[in-house]
A and B are shown apart, each in its own frame.
Chain A
């Protein structure tokens, strides 16, 4: 190591440098991530008279926009509620199977479940739309000239189930695996049949995870835009309404709806943080006969097969249907992508490069600013302030990305506090900024457990051997942190790659792949959309596959 490097490291190790680093990290977090979200309240406040007029007292439309807004919001909540309930019903048994049973092919099911998590929702939504909603899917197989479901609420629900399902299953599986099995053994030895054990022992031990998973699925469904745009028909949800109003230049109503969604999300977050622990499950009474019957091994086997079947027909088959579609319609794909005179291929490459460079830039920023944040969250002893930061970090996770996008657009743009010229106009950099907002929590959340699992003993040893603190970080902490950063990067990258709602709000003339897919579906270029979907699905899934590999390897290392 050169003398200069040593000097630099010594400077970076000083108390001053540490305080500067902490301050910079917090200021960045507050300014880039939190303030733009909260600015929407100020905006609605200052623009209230025009918003009021638009919504309730418009000379032409009267209060029609307000009715639209209310209806869209209500619909979003209904859909998210139904989706969450179905998710829990079909997700809980699957989580149990994955956590408790060992069978051949479990590994494959386990990685298949991640598929909808990895793939951009627009590509996923398109695939599901093909399967249920067009003559190229199940309708065609049944000899119909159309799909069996038309665009609308039912199709939205089917799509949302697919991409929220992994959240429920992943969460519950983790929780179930953490449940201390000796409690279950004790209950069994005390005479409880398996179903009773599950309801009275496992249930209460995992309920926090269940509620957390359900709220996560709910917020995912509430906030999704890309896939919903493909299948909504005339059923406008809240996020679609924001995108629509934004493109029509109706900033007032869009801001108002954004504010409501932000408030709802904050409410849900508080619910998650405060109330989950108090949710009671009825465990005192035991329904002996019914539960003994439900504990029957034959019934259990039946349930497992049904769950596997649902997983196959409702989740996996529709999610992968694009491959079948493109396989069967190769000619059309070739025509639309390579022969048609609107240069779809070059449009695709352009959007692909945009997507990659945006995701790459976002990941880089999240790494640089996420690591110090994770270190702060684990190492600094700031008490209350840290608990507050901890809640703040999760905010972008629960807010619909379209609402996030709109907030950020307002804050940095011409409508914001920086005057009529704004700082960023819609385009590449604004997309990056928005993506950083909703990707940052993922990076930090992945890093926190890894940082806290690091043994401070090594670092203490290095300190006693004479290394200044930054050198300790570089030589002792970083090598152990590397895999975590890689894992966080891949999650951040795929998040950014797959996002649609926020991007639609701030993209200007830039197109990302999910937006392109939505565009092409709207213009009925299904074959071309299939082509784009397949490429992005393969690309994202390869990334997640790689992620699983490195995280599994790091488990082995432990």
Chain B
């Protein structure tokens, strides 16, 4: 039922434009994540949807109705907080039945909602415990049960796993998604963790500096980012500067700057002499010479080698002195690769090269803040 539309929502704090003309549509039953570095405006957007802050401009529609002037308690939402915010002087039961009680539900309904919600998160046996007796993951389960007990179909999650240990997070992500789908909720989730966003969402909205860069499924975002920022934020990439040398059927050939090597890219959209930035994911580079027309092969020199466990990170210098990094599975490193100043060949798929128009300021596009 909930279908949320944000139209040109803006909010400024003193000198900072927290969000700037944000437009976003969240469909019924969708699990949407707002992802971005800290300070990108994702939490501000969520709080505007919740009514915890008043935007300076714009409209927020719930099922077509503008609710911008509604206080949070009249918006019919369920919200989960990063630091849980389980009321400290109430036990688990009173916390979870709070939404039913403040809505003046009947005793029977209160009982039913409390039991059902706590059951869903497996915390019914802790109903009489006080928050100080619970661990962080248990507290967040109570937080989720409490939000569900609002009976709202819209679940807002503000960095819900941000205060939990890394190992627990992955399990929690699966449980959370399962729960949302089982109850047929619409979820809006805020996080700065790319893996979490990929793992949990139907669609992700990538934000930066108060603006939405791209909204799409995790796969599409990863394989077809629309900007250098999105590409770099979702995967560690190298960016190389070059000029389109000539076009072929469905591809073009780019010559890297400084009379560097030629690289084939999987698009013919740019005319000759266009200055481009080529994105090359670290983990899609491998060692070895490959003649196949679907591959690019370059010669390089190893500068540094960092052992990271299952993977090893190499720093390499290309013939035009550009530096790139490659992350290779440790087991697949050829015997003859030595530590440094070793000449090697590296290869990567033509399909894996992402090409962008060269920006005015590459560092600016890459910066997180």
Min CB–CB distance A162 → chain B (angstroms) = 34
* Residue of A182, A192, A201, A205 touching B73 (CB-CB under 8 A): A192
Tell me whether A283 is interfacial, beta carbon within 8 Å: yes
Q: Which residues of A contact B125 (CB under 8 A)?
A: none
Contact A283 B102 (CB under 8 A): no
A191 touching B52, Cβ below 8 Å: no
**Which of B52, B87, B90, B94 makes the CB contact (< 8 A) with A189?**
B52
Residues 133-189 of A contacting B (Cβ, < 8 Å): 180, 182-183, 185-189
Instruction: Known A189-B77, A189-B78, A190-B147; judge A284-B101 contact (CB<8 A).
Output: yes
B52→A188 contact, CB < 8 A: yes
The answer to whether the Cβ of B85 comes within 8 Å of any Cβ in the partner chain is yes
Chain B residues within 8 Å of A185, by CB: 50, 52, 72, 81, 85
| Residue contact B103 to A288, C-beta cutoff 8 Å | yes
A194 and B71 form a contact (CB under 8 A): yes
Q: Least Cβ distance of B53 to chain A in Å?
A: 10
Residues of A within 8 A of B101 (CB): 284-286
B156 proximity list for chain A (CB < 8 A): 189
Chain A neighbourhood of B237, CB < 8 A:
none
Q: Residues of A contacting B81 with CB < 8 Å?
A: 182, 185-186
Question: When A191-B73, A192-B98, A193-B71 are in contact, do A186 and B79 touch as well, CB less than 8 Å?
Answer: yes
Chain A residue numbers with a CB within 8 Å of B71 are 188, 193-194
Contact A183 B87 (CB under 8 A): yes
Q: B residues within 8 A CB of A189?
A: 50-52, 72-73, 77-79, 147, 156
- Assuming the contacts A185-B85, A186-B85, asked whether A286 and B78 have C-beta atoms less than 8 A apart, the reply is no
Distance of A199 Cα from B90 Cα, bound (Å) = 13
Render B75-116 as a binary contact track against A, CB cut-off 8 A, 1 for contact.
011110101010111100010001101111000000000000
Bound form: Cα–Cα A192–B72 in Å? 8
Q: Does A289 contact B (CB under 8 A)?
A: yes
Q: Is A196 an interface residue (CB 8 A)?
A: yes
Say whether B146 faces chain A, with CB atoms less than 8 Å apart.
yes
What are the residues of chain A within 8 A of B44 when measuring CB–CB? none
A204 close to chain B: CB less than 8 A: yes
Produce 1/0 per residue, A505-538, CB < 8 A to B: 0000000000000000000000000000000000
Contact, CB under 8 Å: A192 / B102: yes
Q: How far is it, in angstroms, between the C-alpha of A61 and the C-alpha of B288 when the chains are bound?
A: 117
Q: With an 8 A cutoff between CB atoms, is B150 at the interface?
A: yes
What's the interface size class on B, roughly?
20 to 34
Contact across chains for B73 and A284 when beta carbons are under 8 A apart: no
Contact A190 B150, beta carbon cutoff 8 Å: yes
Residues of B within 8 A of A193 (CB): 71, 73, 102
State in angstroms the CA–CA spacing of A196 and B72 once bound together: 13
List of B residues within 8 angstroms of A286 by Cβ: 101-102, 104
CB-CB under 8 A from B52, the residues of chain A are 185, 188-189
Select from chain A the residue with minimum beta-carbon distance to B75.
Answer: A189
Which of A192, A204, A288 has a CB less than 8 Å from the CB of B89?
A204
| Cβ distance B225 to chain A, nearest Cβ, rounded Å | 33
B247 shortest CB reach to chain A, Å: 55
Least CB separation from B72: chain A residue: A188
8 A Cβ contacts from A362-396 to B: none
Do B78 and A288 touch (CB < 8 A)? no
A187 CA / B77 CA spacing, docked (Å): 11
Shortest beta-carbon distance from B331 to chain A in Å: 47
Q: Give CA–CA (A285, B102) in the complex, Å.
A: 8
Give bound CA distance, A334 to B18, whole Å: 63
- Complex Cα spacing A239 to B249, Å: 103
User: Which of chain A's residues 201-243 have a Cβ closer than 8 Å to chain B?
Assistant: 201, 204-205
A492 CB, min distance to chain B CBs, angstroms:
37
A191 to B110, CA, bound (A): 14
Complexed CA–CA distance, A190 and B101 (Å):
10
Residues of A contacting B72 in the complex (Cβ-Cβ under 8 angstroms): 185, 188-189
Task: Type the 1/0 row for B146-187, where 1 means its CB is closer than 8 Å to any CB of A.
Answer: 110010000010000000000000000000000000000000
Given the complex, which residues of B lie within 8 Å of A200, measured CB to CB?
A: 98, 102
B151 to chain A, nearest CB (A): 9
Q: A190-B147, A201-B87 are in contact. List 9 more A-B contacts (CB 8 A).
A: A188-B71, A189-B77, A189-B78, A190-B79, A191-B102, A193-B71, A194-B71, A200-B98, A285-B101
Shortest 3 CB-CB contacts between residues of A and residues of B: A288-B104, A189-B79, A186-B85
In the complex, 23 of the A-B residue pairs with CB atoms within 8 angstroms, ordered by the A residue number, are A180-B85, A183-B87, A183-B88, A185-B72, A185-B81, A187-B87, A187-B98, A187-B102, A188-B51, A188-B72, A189-B77, A189-B79, A190-B78, A190-B102, A190-B150, A193-B102, A194-B73, A196-B102, A200-B98, A204-B87, A283-B90, A286-B101, A286-B102
